[in-house]
Each structure stands twice: as structure tokens, then as C-alpha cells.
Amino acid sequence: MLGRRLPSFARPLARAYAPKWPRPKPGTAERPPYRAPDPLINNPSATVTALPDEDLTFIHRPPPTAPSPISYTTNPISPLLKPASSVISSQLPPLLRPSADKTLPQRLTEEQVAEIRRLRALDPVKWTRGQLAKKFDCSQQFVALIAATKKSTRIKLVRRRDEEHQANREKWSARKSLVNAISQKRRQHW
């Protein structure tokens, strides 16, 4: 019976190690917390000015990066103070984004803007925003800003596009139609 272990519910509730909580009460033999010395007062280069009337103390500490009195801009000691030269600029790393090196397109003249408007009004099906942007080397948003189609024409174009899309949807298999219907239903419940 002596070598037998007791089940966990029959063991006494005592720990073999000191718990972290609760902390010992103040005044016991615990070591006090570390208090760092004040870096302003303990600095040898700090100047302390006390005002007895106001009971205020001003402490000024010069920054650790203060320039040396020997270093001048005409004859700098630090290489960081030296002016940039072409040798340093040639050693720069490559740009992170290729788009940062891209030159901006030239501004369009009034004649080019008028031509964009004329072509867009002439045949909006042929001269889409993408076609005009490619031809005049500008963005599609710019073309939409300066040469927006009339609302009636836009409604017809959208209706024609929707008919083409519907014709393509009718060619879908039953499974693809079911998956699309399920995703649309799920989107409604978002």
C-alpha cells in the first residue's frame, strides 16, 4: 500500500513551487523594482538652472548629435555633410517600382481634345474610351471626363452589351448556371 499513488482528487492541494500570484506584501524580503537614474540630472554636460521664486528647475542637455565645433560646411568632417556628387548618384540602388521611372505623357492640345470629342460623338461603338486613350496616349478616365457619351446613347450601348452577355449566358451548361445563381444569391445576403 505504501508504493501506491493516490488518485488526483484525493491528493492534497499543495504546490511544490512558489506561485507567481499573489505577490508578496510590501515590506517583505522582495527586491525593490529597478528605478533608472534620471538621464537629465545625471548627465555631465547638462546645465541646471533653478529659479527660487517659482520653485522651478530648468535642465538643458545638448543633443548627443550636436555638431563638432571643428566641423564646418566648407570643410565637413562627417561624410553625411558633404555635398552630393555624380559619383554617389551613380551608385544608387535600382528603383523598387518600375512605374516610378515612367515619364508622364504629354498634355493634350486643344485640337487633340476637340478631335477626341468629335470621334467619340461620331461613332461611340468604334471609338471607345480604350481606343481613344490608346490613340492619343492618355488615360481612359481622361477620355471619359472630356468626351462622355450622351445618356441616351449610353443606355443603348449598355442594353446592347447586356443582350450580348445574356446570349453568352444561354450557352452555359446547367452546372455553370447553377453555380452562378448560387453566388448571386449569396451576394444578396451580404
The pLDDT of residue 111: 95
Q: Are 116 and 143 in contact (CB under 8 A)?
A: yes
The pLDDT of residue 75: 64
- The 10 Å CB-count burial string (b at 16+, else e) for 132-161 is bbeebebeeebbeebbebeeeeeeeeeeee
Question: Which residue ranges make up each domain of the chain?
Answer: 110-188
Print pLDDT tens along the chain (190 aa).
556 676 766 666 666 666 666 666 666 666 667 788 877 777 788 888 888 787 788 888 777 765 566 666 666 666 666 666 655 556 777 778 877 777 877 899 999 999 999 999 999 889 999 999 999 999 999 999 999 988 998 999 999 999 999 999 999 999 999 999 999 999 998 8
The pLDDT of residue 50: 85
Q: Which residue has the cell 485640337?
A: 111
The pLDDT of residue 175: 96
pTM above 0.75, yes or no: no
Q: How far is CA 170 from CA 7, 166, 179, 186, in A?
A: 72, 6, 14, 21
Separation of first and last alpha carbons in the chain:
67
Residue 34: DSSP 8-state? P
The pLDDT of residue 40: 72
The pLDDT of residue 33: 73
The pLDDT of residue 134: 94
